[in-house]
Chains A and B, each alone.
Chain A
Amino acid sequence: MTAPTVNLLQGTLEFLILKTLGSGESRHGFAILRWIRDATDGALIVEEGALYPALHRMERRGWLRSDWGLSEKNRKSKYYELTVKGRKQLEKEETDWASYVAAVEKIAAATDGR
């Protein structure tokens, strides 16, 4: 049974991509997709059409670096990894996300206790 796919805001998608690459390993687009799917146990399935434009935009922004390589199946594919700038952006967004979640939780808790 597949969990409902959630339409992600673009900003969140980029956060997810940053997080995916946060380990330092370089991955190609499909691998990023799969990792997100697996890490959320299928709860988040990224729309493929949105992924690649996001990756290219982030590269233009200087957060990602890309290069060509051979996959395990010996196919030519494009690999992405975080740049120093991208890592900084990831840290920032993690902090922001945490604050955001905390704030929302406070409101959620407040409503309950009314």
Chain B
Amino acid sequence: MSASPRLRRFFSLWLRRPGVREGVDLEIEHHLRERVDELIAGGMTPGEAHSEARRQFGDIEGVRDTCQRIDRSRMRRDRGEEIMSSIMQDIRYALRSLAKAPAFTAVVVLTLAVGIGANVAMFSVTDAAMLQALPFPEPERLVLGRATFNSFPNPMASGPDYYDYRDQSGSFETLSAILGFTMDVTLTGGDEPERISGTFASVDLFPALGVEPPAGRLFSADEAEQGSPPAAIIGSGFWLRRFGGSPDAVGQTITVNAFPVTVVGVLPTDFHFLHEVDLWLPMQDGGSFTGVRRFHNWLMVGRLKDGVTLQQAQSEVDVISRRLAEAYPESNETKGLLLTGLQEALLESYRPSLLMLMGAVVLVLLIACGNVASLLLARASTRRTEVAVRAAMGASASRIARQLFTESMVTALGAGVLGTVLALWFQGMILSFVDIGELGITEIGMSAPMLAFALALSLVTALVFGGMPALSGTRVDLVDDLKGAGKMSAGRGGTRMRSTLVIAQVALSIVLLIGSGLLIRSFARLRGVDPGFRTENLLTAEIGLAGAQYAEAEARIQFFDGIVEEIHAIPGVLGVGAITHLPIRDPGNNVRSWDPDNPPPNPNDIRYAFLRPVFPGYFDAMGIPLLAGRDLEDTDTPESPLVVAINESMAEYLFPGESPLGRRVAVDHGGEEPTLYEVVGVVGDVRMSSLAQDPRYATYFSYRQRPAGTMQIAIRTQGDPFSLAAPLRAAVWDRDRDIPVERLATMEEVVSRSISGRRVIMVTLTLFSSVALFLAAIGLYGVLAYYVSRRVREIGIRVALGASSSSVVHLVLRRGLTLVAIGIVLGVGGAFAATRLTQQLLYGVEATDPLTFITVSVFFAGVALVASLLPAWRAMRVDPMEALQAE
């Protein structure tokens, strides 16, 4: 009597399936009805049956809830499995699809991988430099203190000022000092004398930075006093080199500049702070560099007390600065101390370059995405048939879009993986010119944030380049597309999108090209700067005297006298010069100098001049013109009157309109009274600190009157400068085996090295913009080729109706150049907007330099013309007969 299962199922097809809640209710209701029927059949009244049925069932609500819960969880799980399986299906399909066109896929993946890789590398460097904290405990409490003069950071402060700030301020847990530069000292006692680097730091610096020495100890408080046994802490590199990393190094005595010091501790391998040196010596009150309030050699590093803000500390420090200005008007009147967060301060110098490069790589990636999107759009039109078939078989538009998008995702993720591998390689490149070694970062490698960024970037990239084709791909016109007529009469959407893409690519490329154009001009300007001397065929070397035998000035004079004479005798030597600091490479060591007969009313207005003892013949050897008077000579001895030669700018400043010869210059050597010198010569200006810095004031002293222990030798050679290296070494060692000849380099190398940072940035940006240009040109070509291929019929008709081939070419070129023109205008606008950022990196060139803008635009237009030629030529070759017959 019950309907057969088959029949039941047949009926069930017609029933709407209830949802979870409704279904459970129905099921229970049905059960109760059956039960009621049974009970009525057994003799109960309907009313009794109803309540009895309910009673017998038990907890209806509970059962209902339980069954609903179970059903809901089942549906969730089933849906999840369904989604997973359709995603897996999409992925499999995507992989098959990509494999069917290996060349295309390879090009796309490579293009994206380079773009993503460059971005991931830049991100990891920026992350390490800017976002990661310094590797010290509680780095946010560390501040850098820089002395300011009339609010301009010097940045170095003087020893006595430092002691006063330290003793008078209450904002700091510790206020330490570190020498603002490093020195080269000679280490003797081994097989060969070795030049090592060293610097001073106050004894509380390392504890403030939380340094834990792997051997020995840090400086003790009494090592800050003069007279305590000389102690030194050595760097880990030096420890490994000299002592093989053995703990026996602690307690050993080494001889530095003929002075014995005991090694008391070693710094850990991963410790990097401001200077990479072999030797750290404790700052001692009354010791080196600490005596004179007017001599500024120290940077301050402070750790703020808990709860004290930078602003509070700054206010307190300002009060102290005012106090010092009142107490010591001659030296402190315009001085202040600027406190900056340590990390921020260290970033200041390379933030502009980092930001610029970040911007550049993002642009390159966008352009690459544009190209990939364009390629995909082109390919989408050839896949119309395939998509139409799928649509006819029941795939919804969203399913198709999802599948196309999965292809983009798989491609992007593949590119992301490859790009991350490439990024490791790019990192090295970036680190080579953005020197963030100061922050303790020498290499970066893989990191979790970097991987997360790579993943996110790949996904975004997929969205950017995949979104458009996926959208346009779903606009299927079934009938047309199945017939294959899509190629001929495809909708205008594809072309418009691609045209917009090309315009965007052109604009971005223009921005990059202008940027690199400006950098190129700037670098050329810098390279072309006249340093004030002749740089060719000049060998330079450093000779540092050490040893008790050179303690007397006479001994030093004798040594260098002899050496210079010997070098002169070497064949191939045209001239020999000796100076304490090599121009371009060795800035610093400037002291207050003024006209004692006409001193500025306010001592704080006294300017600083470079203090440079030289040997006679220096100017001649270097090719520095002697403008008036004479060179310093052998007759300028300690017994004869003290003399100087000054540079042109200083003569103009101190003695405007007059001849400085015979006038006097007062130089503050740190004593109570300045020393007076007579001006005997005026020489041409030389760039002392760098090519980019204007020449300032320089005073040249007779070596005999100020004999230093370390001299830079400059040898003008006839032929290859390096051919003189061996004879030079021989000559020096002949006289004294313990004197090393260091820093051998040609002057040209020295100059080149000094601008290498800028060069690398310029080269990198030019590389980026070339890639961008290339990609944009390809994009343009692609769009125009597509344009022509779609208009074959139209062109055929035109030609058949008598259009000349030149008018057909015009048609194509006009389209191409219109796109390019719009792009150029947008790009130029963008470059203008970015002026403020780029100006910081330029030398001698305005960020809005019209010559660059125009040259770049014209150049790009030329490239665009070439890119348009091939499609235009193709258009010209269209055979009207073929075109009209093709369908």
Contact = CB atoms under 8 A, between A and B. Distances in A.
A107 B160 CA distance: 102
B60 to A, nearest CB: 8
A30 B31 contact: yes
A49 B57 contact: yes
A60 interface: yes
Interface in B54-71: 56-59, 62-63, 66-67, 70-71
A11 B460 CA distance: 52
Interface stretch (A73-81, A86-94, A95-103): A73-81
Interface string A18-57: 0000000110111000000000000000011100110011
B17 A60 contact: no
Interface string B1-45: 111010011011001011000011011101101110100000000
What 7 pairs across the A-B complex have the smallest Cβ distances? A49-B58, A60-B74, A69-B8, A56-B70, A77-B30, A30-B34, A69-B12
Given A52-B24, A52-B28, 14 more contacts: A30-B31, A47-B58, A48-B58, A52-B27, A53-B66, A53-B67, A56-B67, A59-B70, A60-B73, A67-B9, A67-B12, A70-B11, A71-B3, A76-B18
Contacts of B30: 28-30, 71, 75-78
B24 to A, nearest CB: 8
Nearest to B31: A30
Given A57-B70, A68-B17, A69-B12, A48 B27 contact: no
A112 interface: no
A2 to B, nearest CB: 13
Contacts of A79: 8, 12
A73 B41 CA distance: 15
Given A48-B56, A56-B71, A72 B31 contact: no
Contacts, number: 86
A59 B73 CA distance: 11
19 contacts: A26-B5, A28-B27, A30-B34, A48-B58, A49-B63, A52-B31, A52-B66, A53-B63, A68-B15, A69-B11, A69-B15, A70-B8, A70-B11, A72-B3, A76-B15, A76-B18, A76-B26, A78-B26, A78-B30
A29 B31 contact: yes
Interface of B: 1-3, 5, 8-9, 11-12, 15, 17-18, 23-24, 26-28, 30-31, 33-35, 37, 56-59, 62-63, 66-67, 70-71, 73-74, 77
Nearest to B9: A69
A60 to B, nearest CB: 4
Contacts of A78: 23, 26-27, 30
Nearest to B12: A69
A25 B34 CA distance: 19
A84 to B, nearest CB: 17
Interface centre among B15, B62, B70 (most CB of A within 10 A): B70
Contacts of A77: 26-27, 30
Interface residues of A, number: 26
Contacts of A48: 31, 35, 56-58
Contact of A59 (B37, B57, B74): B74
A90 to B, nearest CB: 19
A92 to B, nearest CB: 22
Nearest to B1: A72
A70 B16 CA distance: 12
A108 B58 CA distance: 36
A68 B16 CA distance: 9
A47 B58 CA distance: 8
A72 B62 contact: no
A32 B62 CA distance: 21
A68 B18 contact: yes
A48 B56 CA distance: 7
A48 to B, nearest CB: 5
A53 B70 contact: yes
A48 B27 CA distance: 12
A60 B62 CA distance: 18
Nearest to B16: A68
Nearest to B71: A56
Contacts of B12: 67-70, 79
Contacts of B58: 47-49
Contacts of B66: 52-53, 56
B584 to A, nearest CB: 81
Nearest to A59: B74
Nearest to A76: B26
A109 B628 CA distance: 133
Contacts of B74: 56, 59-60
Nearest to A79: B8
Contacts of B11: 69-70
A48 B36 CA distance: 14
Contacts of B62: 49
Nearest to B11: A70
A72 B4 CA distance: 9
A56 B73 CA distance: 11
A1 to B, nearest CB: 15
Contacts of A52: 24, 27-28, 31, 63, 66-67
A77 B8 CA distance: 11
A57 B74 CA distance: 9
A74 to B, nearest CB: 9
Contacts of A60: 70-71, 73-74, 77
Contacts of A56: 66-67, 70-71, 74
A69 B15 CA distance: 8
Nearest to A77: B30
B34 A72 contact: no
Contacts of B63: 49, 52-53
A29 B496 CA distance: 62
A42 to B, nearest CB: 13
A71 B15 CA distance: 13
B35 A30 contact: yes
A34 to B, nearest CB: 8
A20 B59 CA distance: 24
Contacts of B1: 72
A68 B63 CA distance: 19
B3 A70 contact: yes
Contacts of B3: 70-72
Contacts of B2: 71-72
Interface centre among B31, B63, B67, B74 (most CB of A within 10 A): B31
A49 B23 CA distance: 17
B56 to A, nearest CB: 6
Contacts of A73: 37
A54 B8 CA distance: 24
Contact of B27 (A26, A29, A67): A29
B667 to A, nearest CB: 95
A68 B66 CA distance: 20
A70 B26 CA distance: 12
